[in-house]
Amino acid sequence: MASFQAGLRRALAQAPRSAFSCRQCLHKTQQIAPPASLISRSRNAFSTTSRVSSSQPGSAATVQRLAMPYRSVYRTPASLLTFSQSIKRAGSSNTVASRSLSTTPAKETAVVAPEAASESSSSSSEVSSFPDTSSKSVAIWLIASAVSVFGIVVWGGLTRLTESGLSITEWKPVTGALPPRNEEDWEAEFAKYRASPEYARLNPNMTLEEFKKIYFMEWSHRLWGRVIGMSFVLPAIYFVARRRVTKRVAWNLLGIAGLIGFQGVIGWWMVASGLRDELFSPGAQPPRVSQYRLTAHLATAFVCYSWMLMTGLSILRDLRVRADPAAAAKLANTLALPALRPFRLAVTALTVLVFTTVLSGALVAGLDAGLIYNEFPMMGNGLTPPHAELWDAHYSRKPDHSDLWWRNMLENPSLVQLDHRILATTTFCAIMALFAFSRTGRIASMLPKSAKRGTTGVVHLVLMQATLGICTLIYMVPTHLAATHQAGSLALLTGVLVLGHRLRMPKSTLRLVQKYATKGSPQPNIGSRVTPKQ
């Protein structure tokens, strides 16, 4: 038995490679030589890397280094071999692909044709019924949805600023879509409002005509929310059912749809906080919604907006990869430069900072903290209010005052305003520093033009936003300035997100770059739902 096993091992070692390959694979490997045109197209696709001179940041050594982070993407054996082979035959040595080649036995590279790679990639997409890029119409619809969310955020701000938010005292997700149709309906709605703390304590002399105005603000805000929900969910179902989206985008759509529904719940949860019975008592705080819930509502809207926008922009980027793989490969190599990593990190940190500033602004709005200290940069006699006012024991609810610091930071209007000033000033300075960073040293020479333009755009946005904030404060929160300031915060967040988007190429996009750059086949149609086959 032992001698039989040893004999079998020897025989296996001597057997030809073909003995271990399936017939189909063997059949494909016999197609061998790729047409010259394909080789040259493959070479062109990555010519950016092979053309760089050694004096540039993308010199041979740098290109070798920058290829490192993307190694995993180039690991797919068949396409890796094909691409390497094309590049090798074309006589190029300084490319991402040729680096991968060094780990590949020469014998194997000589027998795998581009067709094998394309079949390998198309067979992988055959496994899933989803295409490898989403259609352009999905991207346009997502960006339009984001614009609609932008609009509802501003409208929601106006609803708050005109003190209309508590005019509808019930939550009827379906039947509430219809406004009161006759005088009887209006009287019934007004009667419900008259039973609310806001009417009793702040608006005891309000007439029906005045009530109709604030009711319209709140009703239209809620209707807009319903429209966003329907105009998102229905097309999303269609796009997924018709496979107009990638699997990844389908999951994103599901997440966004869930978030929209969640936002409706938060919206009512926020309104309910302004209708509590305790608010009737004269000693209680003025009837208004909880600043925490307002902040949660605003934050969810900002996340929803960002998610829609980023998903839409990512689809457009993937379509650009399909349209021009060579340019995408060039950009991928630039973005992989290690020298750009600190800049990318700085932009990520800035995004977090802007979002935190937004949250602190929502607290200012929720507490009406913009109606005190209406000067800048002073706050009373100094740059900050007196210490005792900032850390007031009145806000603490625990006997040992262990919650003193955070309760004051989130509930004391003086400190909340100071927090917002500090965060806003930090955001402003951080953006100026980022701009300087983008224009000096190695970063200046390596940063893609689009990122430089993005940085300039963010500088303009923060200048505008800070000016609006100061004006809102000095003029004691007039509706038009406060609403514009709110819109400005979303515009600033957009600027920072777009900048971050221009500095990143996720793995899924890199896979597309690899796939289309290696094919050397005619360019696929943008927006086509089906992965083209050879």
Binding site for ligand HEM (CB under 6 A): 157, 161, 298, 354, 357-358, 361-362, 364-365, 370, 376, 420-421, 424, 427-428, 462, 465-466, 469-470, 472-473, 477, 482, 485-486, 489, 492
SS3 379: strand
Between the CA of residue 304 and those of 150, 207, 231, 309, what are the distances in Å?
10, 37, 14, 9
**Structure tokens given for 450:** 């689009």
CB atoms within 10 A of CB 53: 8
Q: Which residues pair with 379 in a beta bridge?
A: 382
As a whole number of angstroms, the distance between CA 305 and CA 300 comes to 8
**Which residue's CB is nearer to ligand HEM, number 315 or number 418?**
418
Q: 447 and 502 in contact (C-beta within 8 Å)? A: no
Minimal distance, residue 238 CB to ligand HEM, in Å = 34
Minimal distance, residue 301 CB to ligand HEM, in Å = 10
> Residue 508 has what DSSP assignment?
H
**Structure tokens given for 321:** 């990869």
Phi, psi angles (nearest 5°) of residue 382: -135, -170
Q: 460 and 437 in contact (C-beta within 8 Å)? A: no
Minimal distance, residue 204 CB to ligand HEM, in Å = 24
**Which residue's CB is nearer to ligand HEM, number 200 or number 491?**
491
Residue 508: closest CA among 371, 262, 332:
332
As a whole number of angstroms, the distance between CA 430 and CA 437 comes to 10
What element of type H or E holds 439?
none
Minimal distance, residue 154 CB to ligand HEM, in Å = 9
**Which residue's CB is nearer to ligand HEM, number 88 or number 485?**
485
Minimal distance, residue 384 CB to ligand HEM, in Å = 13
As a whole number of angstroms, the distance between CA 268 and CA 115 comes to 57
Minimal distance, residue 54 CB to ligand HEM, in Å = 44
Cis peptide preceding 57, ω within 30 of 0: no
**Which residue's CB is nearer to ligand HEM, number 340 or number 365?**
365
**Which residue's CB is nearer to ligand HEM, number 189 or number 419?**
419
**Which residue's CB is nearer to ligand HEM, number 118 or number 427?**
427
Minimal distance, residue 470 CB to ligand HEM, in Å = 5
Minimal distance, residue 377 CB to ligand HEM, in Å = 8
Minimal distance, residue 476 CB to ligand HEM, in Å = 9
**Which residue's CB is nearer to ligand HEM, number 178 or number 383?**
383
Minimal distance, residue 420 CB to ligand HEM, in Å = 6
**Which residue's CB is nearer to ligand HEM, number 472 or number 514?**
472
Q: 186 and 208 in contact (C-beta within 8 Å)? A: yes
**Which residue's CB is nearer to ligand HEM, number 273 or number 465?**
465
In the chain, the amino acid numbered 168 is I
Helical H runs in 274-376? 291-323, 325-335, 341-367
| DSSP string across 400-465 | T-TTHHHHHHHH-HHHHHHHHHHHHHHHHHHHHHHHHHHTSHHHHHHS-HHHHHHHHHHHHHHHHH
SS3 382: strand
As a whole number of angstroms, the distance between CA 195 and CA 60 comes to 76
**Which residue's CB is nearer to ligand HEM, number 426 or number 445?**
426
**Structure tokens given for 41:** 């197209």
